Amino acid sequence: MNTNQTVKINRSQKCFIDALLTLMQRKPYEEITITELSECAQYDRRTFYRHFKSKDDVLCLHCATLLNEMAVITNQKGQLTPYSGFLSYFEFWTKHKSFLCLLDEHNLLNFLGNKQEYLLYQYVGKLVHDDLPDELSENSEFSQYAYFFTQGGLWYTLVLWVRTGMKQSPEQLTKYILNSFTQMTKLML
């Protein structure tokens, strides 16, 4: 496993993440100030600005640590196949349902979605596949389009799943996705 992509956070960064998630349970994200965040984390504003430029950076770091955790779990499952990859994705997000629901409650699911392209490549793809280039743009044109097609499908399936109460199991969602590929292939032949 390529460990140079592992996300490492220190104690103060963890406190800021925890503080942001706590405050998001109490009030709208856009109303949370850096002063409130610092007070809740029990650090001063200077410490905040030592690590972050904005509260979005705190949220982005949390998303990166989550996706890094997803990579470790996926990597432990052995050979990555479409089935195991999709299943791992939905099993992982099942464990973090409350975070997804919190993002949705604050209209921030798109925040994660907008970061997913980079974060999944850096913190999942490169940990699971040691041979990937450093940047997504360094892959072949076909690989880039295939990556975006797959990530877009996974992302919008996740959004629909969250917004409809996450009732289906990860196994069922994985079967839906794989069956959709099978159906598309039949239509093309």
Which residue, 65, 10, 66, is CA-closest to 43?
10
* pLDDT tens-digit series, residues 19-46: 999 999 999 999 999 999 999 999 999 9
Contacts of 64 (CB under 8 A, 6+ apart): 7, 119, 122, 123
Give the other-Cβ count within 10 Å of 161's Cβ.
Answer: 21
Residues in the chain, pLDDT under 70: 1-6, 123-124, 126-129
Contacts of 2 (CB under 8 A, 6+ apart): 126, 127, 130
Question: Quick check: 36 and 23 in contact, CB under 8 A?
Answer: yes
Q: Residue 96 has which token pair? A: 């973090």
What length does the chain have? 189
Which residue, 147, 122, 121, 125, is CA-closest to 74?
125
Give the pLDDT confidence score for residue 6 in this predicted structure: 67
- Amino acid found at 59: L
